[in-house]
Structure 1
Amino acid sequence: MSNEYITGKVKAIIGAETEWATSTHAVEASEVRRFHHATMDDARRYWDEDWAATSRYGALVAPPGFPVHAFRRPPSSPDPLDDMNKPDYDGLSRSFSGLPAVEVELPRDLNGGYEYELYRYARVGEKVLRQARYKDIVQRDGKSGPMVLVIIEETYVNEKGEKLLKVTNTQIMR
């Protein structure tokens, strides 16, 4: 194996987790409408209140990936796009909000993909809570050299603590 990029400092943050974050507002029917239009999923469970009320869902629900997008910038918080005028800004960060930065001496970042595990749909009117943690950080050697895989697991629940969704995100540093 080439240089060892997983230092003791990096190993120490494996398992680190954020506090639970609560969405700034409850799931709204208008947001669900825009989301199901954007994903081109016109299932009645997202827009037909009468049908949804008598279905196994009991109410209007949001599409499966919606909880990931339920978090908005709270009022009076800094706009992340304010940094766009900085010469080195590329919109990427080596940390997930609330998690410590992964300090690895590799220059490039790549999205390695997402895996979604749905437990149940978020309902209109529910607030969504999210917690993230570093599930693992591993080093591999590829054809073009070393890479570090950062696996972030996000858990989404409603206000009652009922699991909605688990998302596993792999970030690749090269």
Structure 2
Amino acid sequence: MTVASESTDAYLTDEIRVLVGQKSEWMRAPHPVEGSEVRRFFHATMELHAKYIDDDWAAQSRYRKRVAPIGFPVHAFRRGPLDTDPLERMDDPDFDGVSRSFRPGLPPVPIPLPGILNGGYEYELYSHVHHGEEMLMRSNYASFVEREGRSGRMVFIAIEDEFRTAEGRPLLHSVNTMILR
């Protein structure tokens, strides 16, 4: 857990520094793993396999029942049915559709840079989630790093996510880097 910069910090204030290490509570996915969601995921990743769709094949495998692709949990956490729809603010010229609350349960990051880029993910994979299982996620701000780029100052935010089943079986650990510029 670090807060670092190459020179004088323009954006990494004490208000930002105290966010490092803050963890959310365990958040429950909006619904259990569903076959239609798994189908969309393996179509998008072009990773069709019998373990995702064939009950008979899965019953004879080490999985014992159908599973979702190993990276599925990362994309299963989305806006819940009662959450505010970002399109409600589409007439606001100052709203870009992206919240500075990068994960449910984490406080917003009050850095006034307008652009947000996804800097990628690193994964540590443990186990497949089964169809019908419920998933939990907990997040924390791992680090903030400020750098000078060709187009100006940038802040790199590393967010760690832990995913597990409702019964506590670890599914995966990820680190997502978000870039504000």
Whether TM exceeds 0.5 here: the answer is: yes
Q: Which of 69, 90, 103 matches 1:63? A: 69
Where 1:26 maps in the other structure, the secondary structure is: coil
Where 2:172 maps in the other structure, the secondary structure is: strand
Deviation at 1:109, TM superposition (A): 2.2
- For structure 1, which segment, 50-59 or 69-78, has the greater mean C-alpha deviation from structure 2 after superposition? 69-78
Matched, 1:10 2:16: yes
Residues 2-151 of structure 1 mapped to structure 2, 5 A cutoff: 2-96=8-102, 97-151=104-158
| C-alpha distance in 1 between matches for 2:169 and 2:69 | 16
Q: Which of 135, 152, 159 matches 1:152? A: 159
Q: TM-score, normalised by structure 1?
A: 0.90
Q: 1:9 to 1:72 in 2, by over 3 A?
A: closer
For the 8 Å contact 1:20–1:129, the answer to whether it is kept is: yes
Gaps of 5+ in 1: none
- For structure 1, which segment, 30-39 or 48-57, has the greater mean C-alpha deviation from structure 2 after superposition? 30-39
Q: 1:10 to 1:33 in 2, by over 3 A?
A: same
Gaps of 5+ in 2: 1-6
| C-alpha distance in 1 between matches for 2:38 and 2:170 | 19
The aligned amino acid for 1:61 is V
Structure 1 stretches of 4+ moved >6 Å: none
| C-alpha distance in 2 between matches for 1:36 and 1:109 | 27
For the 8 Å contact 2:129–2:171, the answer to whether it is kept is: yes
- For structure 1, which segment, 35-44 or 53-62, has the greater mean C-alpha deviation from structure 2 after superposition? 35-44
Q: 1:24 to 1:104 in 2, by over 3 A?
A: closer
Q: 1:107 to 1:90 in 2, by over 3 A?
A: closer
Deviation at 1:9, TM superposition (A): 1.2
| C-alpha distance in 1 between matches for 2:95 and 2:35 | 35
| C-alpha distance in 1 between matches for 2:41 and 2:97 | 23
| C-alpha distance in 2 between matches for 1:155 and 1:72 | 15
